[in-house]
Amino acid sequence: MTPEAQALFAPGGVLLRAGDTFSSPELADAIELLGAEGDRPFYEGDVAAAVADWLGARGGTLTRADLAAYRPVLRDPVRARYRGRDVLTNPRPTPAGSCSRWPSSASRGATARRR
């Protein structure tokens, strides 16, 4: 766990548990900024600069130019039924979406369909 994650999720060295209060003023500020100004500060503004600088200081290769050039690709979600509920997730090629969730749900008899 990074020191930053530890400060958020294990304050004082004790991992947060269900029912504990989670507090992140920086996340709250980011959500407020998103609501007030949309997504551009996250790709071209102060937030983008802070992200690129933080990653660069730790050996990351994502640059301010990368963030400024980013454009989303809109895709329909993948939908799977699980325990009587519809679960929607990112379609391929997003590895955190259908690639990670579909095999586990499929093994339990879920069905998937494109929306």
Write out pLDDT tens, residues 55-98. Answer: 999 999 999 999 999 998 888 999 999 999 999 988 887 665 44
CB proximity list for 48: less than 8 A, separation 6 or greater: 41, 42, 64, 67, 68
DSSP assignment of 21-41 equals PP--HHHHHHHHHHHHH-SHH
Q: According to the model, what pLDDT value does residue 106 have?
A: 52
What does DSSP assign to residue 101?
Answer: H
Give pLDDT tens digits for 10-30. 999 999 999 999 999 999 999
Q: According to the model, what pLDDT value does residue 47 have?
A: 92
Q: In what order do the strands lie in the sheet with 112-114?
A: 85-89, 78-82, 112-114
Flag whether the pTM goes above 0.75: no
